[in-house]
Amino acid sequence: MEYRQLGASGIKVPVLSFGTATFGGGNEFFKAWGETGVEEAKTLINICLEEGVNLFDTANVYSKGLSEEILGKALGGLRNQVLISTKATFPMADGPNDFGSSRFHLTQACEDSLRRLNTDHIDIYHMHGFDGNTPVEETLRALDDLVTSGKVRYIACSNFSGWHLMKSLSASEKHGWCRYVGHQAYYSLLNREFEWELMPLALDQNVGTIVWSPLSAGLLSGKFKRNQPKPESSRLSQGGSQGPETNFELLYNIVDVLEEVAEETGKSVAQVSLNWLLQRPSVVNIVIGARNEEQLRQNLAAAGWNLTSEQVKKLDAASEVPPIYPYWHQRGNQKLNPNPKFY
């Protein structure tokens, strides 16, 4: 397993991490992701460790804490062998202070996550979304205090806009507080908007990209094909999909090329989709999920090899969409605003 430095930090993480949103199935939305219990979770965790994947990603909002609880129980005595990433920000109850990134909420949310995970520290603590109601200085000072106290090792963000992240980094630099070293973001062959602003920002500021939903909720798994019925067992069909409305013509064009490349490489469509991401600038880690052992082993096999430059270019061409303003304007001035180096 390859390990990469997480942004401007001293920690190295595997290029693949195991996402545990499939643990618990605490409501209808998450049941569409999976209903993994403690014993099955132990099996999946051991498979990950055998393959060198020691980073496990969860969030307090996944099945209202049940994912964290199952992960904590399943790890048992393995805690010192793994890295745990969890998140806070989204509502956990109905009170006026039961959501957001205020000092009040984060202090309690962190303590609750530590209890559910049965640990004394969180390795990577993400702000699951940007809180426009709370000053970034309050959020970052609260996070800095959590790091100073030893309850959190590193801080990261998720689903931020470019200005959200840049404003936060600037405040951290100004006050000498801990800075976000990672940004967990939505990115795939089907949804490449991340490349327009967030990727250049990540490269400029040395913020490592951690990709969530790398297969676009299963749309790039190889199960969705042109002129075939949509699979009833998919997250999309079961109401567990999260993301923009799908352009199915674009999807099928991408899948056509994925199948060509899969045949050339002897890999699956899903493995090619994941490997493409591993070769993108700024990407440090991809969060993979699995409902069962077979899915997990298939996804783990996406690492340890590389697509050729020609294959990457072929996939890029099939998945390219016109950028919105101001990115189309900037791309017309490559001398001033050069694209990231993809090849």
- Residue 17: partners with Cβ closer than 8 Å, 6 or more residues away: 53, 55, 56, 57, 85, 210, 285, 286, 287, 288
**Nearest alpha carbon to residue 279 among 241, 244, 306:** 306
Half-sphere exposure of 290 (CA within 13 A, CB side): 23
Calpha distance 31→1 (Å, rounded)? 30
For residues 17 and 138, give the distance between their C-alpha atoms in angstroms, rounded to a whole number: 30
* Residue 34 region by backbone torsions, left for phi larger than 0, else alpha for psi between -120 and 50, else beta: left
Question: Can you tell me the distance from the alpha carbon of 96 to that of 94, in angstroms, rounded to the nearest whole number?
Answer: 7
Task: Identify whether the C-beta of residue 268 lies closer than 8 Å to the C-beta of residue 222.
Answer: yes
Secondary structure E strands in 117-240 = 122-127, 152-158, 180-186, 208-212
* CA gap 24, 66 in Å, rounded: 6
263-to-247, 267, 269, 296, 319 alpha-carbon distances in Å: 24, 7, 9, 21, 19
Grouping H, G, I as helix, E, B as strand and the rest as coil, residue 113 is helix
Asked whether the CA dihedral 91, 95, 98, 100 is positive or negative, the reply is positive
> Among this protein's residues, is 62 annotated catalytic?
yes
Other Cβ atoms less than 10 A from the Cβ of 41: the count is 22
For the chain, counts of helices (H) and of strands (E): 12, 10
Which candidate in 3, 62, 125, 325 is catalytic? 62
Q: Are 103 and 137 in contact (CB under 8 A)?
A: no
Q: Catalytic residue positions?
A: 62
